[in-house]
Structure 1
């Protein structure tokens, strides 16, 4: 495997683990505010990010590459309203998309078709993640100032359930 592609893939494990930490902090914020549905949403997001880290880890191992786990940064976000974590999540998902795109670009440059194929799942996943984050922001802007509508959004988010991503489910 090309050294640059390897380095970016290994670093992505750390970025995914940081994402899980970040989303756990969002879940904590909403839990403390009494919004259990929003907390549920971000607990599931955190679990998905852990899954993503495992997928990258598995890929390196399947390609006989060593995994080097790096220190995970502490989330540094503080919030004073219910919209701010949602906006931070959207910003973060766009950042993660840029990281996936950079790995893909390095794989193209190295003619690493296996890694390009591997990353296709993440490209689709990031489209979904950004769409979901954008929807959360839009809905909070539209309805978040109304207590009943906020309650309804929270209840809707409480219904979200976790599902194992295809690369870990053996699909």
Structure 2
């Protein structure tokens, strides 16, 4: 049986993941508005992944017999000062999400909820990849600097991203 405290934590995280999906969708719209379709596609794929993350949490709660509580989703930001600022925001957000999953893992372990602990291991590993991916793009944009040609090439490369199956 999953505890009330763990249920509340996972419901909260599920709703956060739905917000995360909307955040990346908003970033996709931003990149479309500045004519960076590759970055928009990258962010759209990220948005889909975040929805999948929310549904993984939903399924775990359902399988454990917990009550699923959907909450109102706050509107995400819609503007960033630059492509760099948007990807820095994405990176910082992924670091925040990593800390959230670390807290959930600590709770699961403290409650000896081994099923949830095993379930959360996937998210902990996923967050390492998410942080690395966003940071890599931030570093590339910093390296490119004011060279529009480099940004154009990066945008093209970002457009090649395929959503995870």
TM-score of the superposed pair, with normalisation by structure 1? 0.93
Q: RMSD between aligned alpha carbons? A: 0.9
What is the CA distance between 1:77 and its match in structure 2?
5.0
User: Match of 1:145, SS?
Assistant: coil
- Unaligned segments of structure 1, at least 5 residues: 165-171
Q: How many Å separate the matches in 1 of 2:146 and 2:56?
A: 39
What is the CA distance between 1:163 and its match in structure 2?
2.1
> Residue in 2 aligned with 1:159?
160
* Aligned positions, number: 164
Q: How many Å separate the matches in 2 of 1:104 and 1:144?
A: 39
Is the CA contact (8 Å cut-off) linking 2:7 and 2:67 kept in structure 1? no
Instruction: State the 4+ residue runs in structure 1 displaced beyond 2 angstroms.
Output: none
What is the CA distance between 1:148 and its match in structure 2?
1.1
TM-score of the superposed pair, with normalisation by structure 2? 0.97
- Unaligned segments of structure 2, at least 5 residues: none
What is the CA distance between 1:76 and its match in structure 2?
2.7
Q: How many Å separate the matches in 2 of 1:96 and 1:70?
A: 18
Q: How many Å separate the matches in 2 of 1:111 and 1:36?
A: 46
Q: Deviations 1:2-50 (Å, cap 9, x if unpaired)?
A: 2211110111111000001110111111101000000000000000000
> Residue in 1 aligned with 2:106?
105
Q: How many Å separate the matches in 1 of 2:4 and 2:106?
A: 14
> Residue in 1 aligned with 2:136?
135
Matched, 1:48 2:49: yes
Q: How many Å separate the matches in 1 of 2:89 and 2:23?
A: 10
